[in-house]
Amino acid sequence: MLTVNIHEAKTHLSRLIEKAAKGESFIIAKAGKPMVKVVALAPADGIKMKRIGFMSGQMSIPADFDSLGSNEISQLFNGDA
């Protein structure tokens, strides 16, 4: 397991975090004495992020959606308003 001193950890924190997130845990030491171990967090059990289709069945779109307001728009563009 990789051991880095505090100064090196501060200098390369982003790179070290990326490694930890990929499963490569490491230890941060102070004056050669191990202080903390950095590991990736495990996803919470039972909680799934549902994104696509999360509002399925909760709203409807009218059949004439594409023509809604077409008369008013036509009047505005043709100057008949």
- Kindly report the pTM of this predicted structure: 0.51
What is the C-alpha to C-alpha distance for residues 6 and 62, in angstroms, rounded to an integer?
A: 61
**Annotated domain spans of the chain:** 2-38
Annotation: CATH topology of 2-38: YefM-like fold (3.40.1620)
pLDDT tens track for 16-74: 999 998 889 999 999 999 999 999 987 666 666 667 887 888 888 888 888 888 888 88
The candidate with the shortest Cα–Cα distance to 23, out of 4, 47, 2, is: 2
Q: CA–CA separation, 32 vs 66, rounded Å?
A: 69
pLDDT at 81 exceeding the cut of 60: no
